[in-house]
Structure 1
């Protein structure tokens, strides 16, 4: 190998795809921020990979993608082979290429991170988009049908991951979801500037071509009972997600124009799309779905995760005059993607770190006027190993606001229709799986399996995909035996 090839990563810098100009983003453009690499740029960026003997990128990836291998295939312009390889580990590669926080996962673990990591996510997006646009589809011609059928409850990332892997094992998956389109939070929780909804529609077409059957607009416990599914199917997978927002218990949070993050994002998606494609409202949120006009308003978002970043960047596109993100720890401890934080800053969001909300203040008419916060300093680690945010006495101040969005996170709940089947749940609402001689992802009911946010609590899209995929392997093992 020549010196030029060895040090190509220095001579050819890291380069992301072109982005929508800032002036368009701040004036209401909801298109995907990042464009797509062209063939030459994808090959150049793939060529920066050192092909490490111990690929940290693959190990850090929750689905353990064969990243160096498909980067090499891109260099050789073998795109369909690269797409097939992507799909062997990841049922939703074009989605993860867009929404994964690569800076915290594969790219953050790239050996070249100090010099500029390989643009793994952008290349993954290029591979799958290009292959699918050219007519490539997963080849299941070698798969032998087993005659087995599995019901999958939930058409979100975990359910899709499970259905994909079941189809590859010759097991017929039937996916039930209460909403009229597939995707779960991919469809109505992630803004289109991160994930165009046409991507989800195309993935549905791919899955149906693989033999996956969708029964949408069907609510378990109302339209069909779990007992009926257990009677009709050989196994059932539960991918019900985490939709219960974390209640911070702040005084004043019931004031007008105080919104939980997810209803805010859901309704924005409906407004942007110009219709109501998701059918039934999320239970318990009916009174929170009327999003106020943000044009010219002062908006404060509480919480520093990726959902918080979706909220602040949506508020900018909705015409807010001033958007503040308040987070109780410092920037280094912020759970959100550093890339998303940088994009938000560029779009005009102001970040206030080490600020802990104490109360939401209102006027005599019940309208929000601001958020009372106190400055914090980081103290001793808590039971999870994270440094606690300790309030500094006498440092209170008011952040003026017309609208407050609470983005403290989400947690799962065990549905009532599931508890009747003797499935064990934990006090925090998660479904208990594994242990006591059970298969991975198997619940205390032998025919019921679960994965994703319903088991882990709210987490990344890619971890939900990984758990759905791996749960399908456990289901296949049980059915084989």
Structure 2
């Protein structure tokens, strides 16, 4: 009977969870996708072909056992499905919401390649793990035995929290230091609520705190405490700061009032959702209401900005991107959602300069795609004489992020970095040049996905456990 529930992709069509209508969802910051019902989740999970080489799993950064928990979901064995999902992923209910499944697991689904439409893996992952929280199946972190070793983690984003989760399960004493007043990193202050509601993140933070993780908030390493002081207090240290330094416009007028960084803009909006006082929002600096908004960039951060501006009742929202739709780095799913909500995309367009102070417009130069560069992507070329002025009252720059100069900021010149400014760490162990110091996540690989940071954090935790075990063995000898 169980087998009959699988392999139904030839008779059951792909179906995603219902989206709230655009005219309703733009009035709030709630998540736009409704939850699967149990029957619908089981039906969609049953479309899995249970193929011998599961490309969905191969293309998942944390190597989720996707066919297994899809089969269990189809059979109604949700608690077991959750346990298998949780075994490989520290935050499955978060990844189910924000992973670009269209580029990872679902984009590589075998039945998708055969023309039958991919299994809705992300929606099922979200459903089984939300159900686990509701039913009380998420087991608290209770190590079999406490260990005396202590690890300090700098950064409370997904990489740092994933490492904290794994280390605490092994009984290690963990302290997480973070510059913000709330843990979660960009999951808390960067990603808008319509993609990831904040109670989902805070629930995980409280789960870790209940499991024995100690959080030190509002702690800026290099100012409030030195890096060497943290090293002195712990047996090992993990650097998981992420990358927060925004790439800046260099065109004329870039310093004008009304030109703001994407992260500043998104952080202000997310703080409002917590009920914080945000003076920059109240005085209009980081508030799009009644303004003609232009967002520059084509990644997921740009998508977050344009959709936030729509919800803040901007008069108009346009997104400038120098390549075309097919070549943009952001999720196609998010682009579609943004268009449904009223965002206008201006493809093959790049800023040449800004007009006015406060800003009144963006000088736009039209582009065409030329020969491929070293990465294989076609290089944008300016079309002579095709410039025009795009009127704007608020310009948001979403050009990506770069690492801060940590060796200088922290006074640790022996902390080696790459030519891109990221920390140099072993690809497998995540060990840096400093004994007992590890690094994981975006500060090593550059701005990337939450799921990659989770994988890095888990791997780094395993390496730290090996290091602590070896140190204990040497001490015993």
| TM norm. shorter chain > 0.5 | yes
> 1:330 corresponds to which residue?
324
* Alignment gaps of 5+ in structure 2: 471-477
Q: Secondary structure, in 3 states, of the residue corresponding to 1:102?
A: coil
Conservation of the 8 A alpha-carbon contact between 2:293 and 2:316: yes
For residues 281 and 246 of structure 2, what CA distance do their matches in structure 1 show?
15
Conservation of the 8 A alpha-carbon contact between 1:264 and 1:289: no
Q: Secondary structure, in 3 states, of the residue corresponding to 2:264?
A: helix
> 1:399 corresponds to which residue?
390
Conservation of the 8 A alpha-carbon contact between 1:371 and 1:398: yes
Provide Cα deviations, 1:409-462, integer angstroms capped at 9, x if missing partner.
111113235442611122322111127xxx621111011100111111111111
Quick check: 1:368 aligned with 2:359? yes
TM normalised by structure 1 equals: 0.92
For residues 186 and 73 of structure 1, what CA distance do their matches in structure 2 show?
29
Provide Cα deviations, 1:179-229, integer angstroms capped at 9, x if missing partner.
221101110111111111101111012222333222222222233222222
Range that drifts further, 294-303 or 96-105: 294-303
> 1:183 corresponds to which residue?
184
Q: Secondary structure, in 3 states, of the residue corresponding to 1:323?
A: strand
> 1:411 corresponds to which residue?
402
| Cα shift at 1:287 | 12
> 1:428 corresponds to which residue?
420
For residues 256-295 of structure 1, what are the structure 2 equivalents within 5 Å? 256-276=257-277, 291-295=285-289
Provide Cα deviations, 1:372-417, integer angstroms capped at 9, x if missing partner.
1222222223333322111111221222212111111111113235
> 2:42 corresponds to which residue?
43
> 1:388 corresponds to which residue?
379
> 2:94 corresponds to which residue?
95
Quick check: 1:457 aligned with 2:457? no
- Cα pair distance change 1:205/1:272, threshold 3 Å: closer
Conservation of the 8 A alpha-carbon contact between 1:243 and 1:412: yes
- Cα pair distance change 1:24/1:251, threshold 3 Å: same
Conservation of the 8 A alpha-carbon contact between 1:267 and 1:289: no
| Cα shift at 1:17 | 1.6
Provide Cα deviations, 1:42-90, integer angstroms capped at 9, x if missing partner.
1111111111111111111111111111111112222222222112211
TM normalised by structure 2 equals: 0.92
> 2:462 corresponds to which residue?
473
Conservation of the 8 A alpha-carbon contact between 1:137 and 1:206: no
For residues 13 and 232 of structure 1, what CA distance do their matches in structure 2 show?
56
Q: Secondary structure, in 3 states, of the residue corresponding to 1:377?
A: strand
Counterpart pick for 2:432 among 443, 455, 477? 443
For residues 444 and 49 of structure 2, what CA distance do their matches in structure 1 show?
37
> 2:15 corresponds to which residue?
15
| Cα shift at 1:296 | 2.9
| Cα shift at 1:143 | 3.7
Counterpart pick for 2:291 among 288, 297, 301? 297
For residues 80 and 210 of structure 2, what CA distance do their matches in structure 1 show?
19
* Alignment gaps of 5+ in structure 1: none
- Cα pair distance change 1:142/1:175, threshold 3 Å: closer
- Cα pair distance change 1:239/1:3, threshold 3 Å: closer
Provide Cα deviations, 1:79-138, integer angstroms capped at 9, x if missing partner.
222222112211111111111111111111111223321111111111111111111223
For residues 4 and 138 of structure 2, what CA distance do their matches in structure 1 show?
37
For residues 99 and 253 of structure 1, what CA distance do their matches in structure 2 show?
31
- Cα pair distance change 1:142/1:75, threshold 3 Å: farther
> 2:223 corresponds to which residue?
222
Quick check: 1:59 aligned with 2:48? no
- Cα pair distance change 1:272/1:287, threshold 3 Å: closer
For residues 138-217 of structure 1, what are the structure 2 equivalents within 5 Å? 138=139, 143-217=144-218
> 1:128 corresponds to which residue?
129
Query: What's the C-alpha RMSD, in Å, of the aligned pairs?
Result: 2.3
Conservation of the 8 A alpha-carbon contact between 2:260 and 2:396: yes
- Cα pair distance change 1:476/1:292, threshold 3 Å: closer
For residues 67 and 101 of structure 2, what CA distance do their matches in structure 1 show?
15
For residues 16 and 81 of structure 1, what CA distance do their matches in structure 2 show?
23
For residues 58 and 35 of structure 1, what CA distance do their matches in structure 2 show?
25
For residues 288 and 460 of structure 1, what CA distance do their matches in structure 2 show?
31
Range that drifts further, 332-341 or 84-93: 84-93
Provide Cα deviations, 1:295-347, integer angstroms capped at 9, x if missing partner.
33211111010000000100110111211111101111110011100000101
Conservation of the 8 A alpha-carbon contact between 2:259 and 2:395: yes
Range that drifts further, 207-216 or 453-462: 207-216
